[in-house]
Amino acid sequence: MHDKTSLNDPRKLYPAPPFPDQPQPAPGLAHKMDPVPDHGEQSYRGSGRLTGRKALITGGDSGIGRAAAIAFAREGADVAITYLPDEEADAKEVIGRIEAERRKAVALPGDIKDETWCRELIEKTVSGLGGIDILVVNAGRQQYRETIEELSTEDFDKTMKTNLYALHWIAQAAVPHMPAGSAVVTTASIQAYQPSPILLDYATTKAGIVAYTKALAKQLIERGIRANVVAPGPVWTVLQPSGGQPDEKVKNFGKDSDFGRPGQPVELAPVFVLLASQEASFINGEVYGVTGGKGVT
């Protein structure tokens, strides 16, 4: 844990590679990572910026979604999280963190590749929280394939369904419940702008998320709802060792950032809080890069 009130060299705030070998089967569990990611469990301090708000975060069990869930609860929001049933152990920890802040927590295990479930989870969120005014579509699938020949139709389909179709289904179901003043935040990636050759399908979906959200923002502002994108660079999440990158790349993950290390999920949380809050009242259709200096152009 780092004291956020004192000056610290950002290059030395968190662990730098090389990291231990740690392959996991997808979808993976954050608490099995070495080092364990910092989602803000000890370090994030809230200041009431989301008091009384009602948020849904997809992929809220680990990684960036978990950091957003903890931050939102500490800022005063009630929070629902979606996750795969295999991620129950991580999700229970997050639900406990939300409830420790005396906020409502709704656990939504299921597979967002299923359109019916995407629509059901909105109904469960609305009934569980008494409404919805923050939607964070963050859950993602990333499985590297070395060559185009190795990228099967099944792979491509799973990535498209998880990263793009689910975004559409969930947003389509949520928007009618969202009042003016609400906010949508999506998670893209530096891969939308600087795609890796081994992430053909993933990079394609992340570019799609940017375009979809920018178009959605123009639609929704007519209802008084803002929509924006966060585009992370290398962030230390379980997506990486569970098939998102080859083992050798996991060992050196984040080494080529300006900081010589990957970002930690908690380092993205303040951006999600800003975009969800009323402080971002004149921010719409923007892409916020948190890339360790790589940029999003």
Summarised one tens digit per residue, pLDDT across range 230-289 is 999 999 999 999 999 999 999 999 999 999 999 999 999 999 999 999 999 999 999 999
Residue 96 lies in a domain: yes
The catalytic residue among 44, 83, 202, 212 is 202
Residue 235 lies in a domain: yes
Closest Cα partner for 267 from 70, 47, 22?
70
Instruction: Give me the pLDDT at residue 4, please.
Output: 62
Residue 181 lies in a domain: yes
Residue 25 lies in a domain: no
Residue 161 lies in a domain: yes
CATH number at residue 241: 3.40.50.720
44: left (phi over 0), alpha (psi -120 to 50) or beta: beta
Tally of domains within the chain: 1
Instruction: Give me the pLDDT at residue 297, please.
Output: 77
pLDDT above 80 for 82: yes
Residue 9 lies in a domain: no
Summarised one tens digit per residue, pLDDT across range 201-233 is 999 999 999 999 999 999 999 999 999 999 999
Domain span at residue 248? 34-283
Q: Is 202 a catalytic residue?
A: yes
Mean of the per-residue pLDDT values of the chain: 96
Number of C-beta neighbours around residue 136 at 10 A: 27
Residue 11 lies in a domain: no
Residue 104 lies in a domain: yes
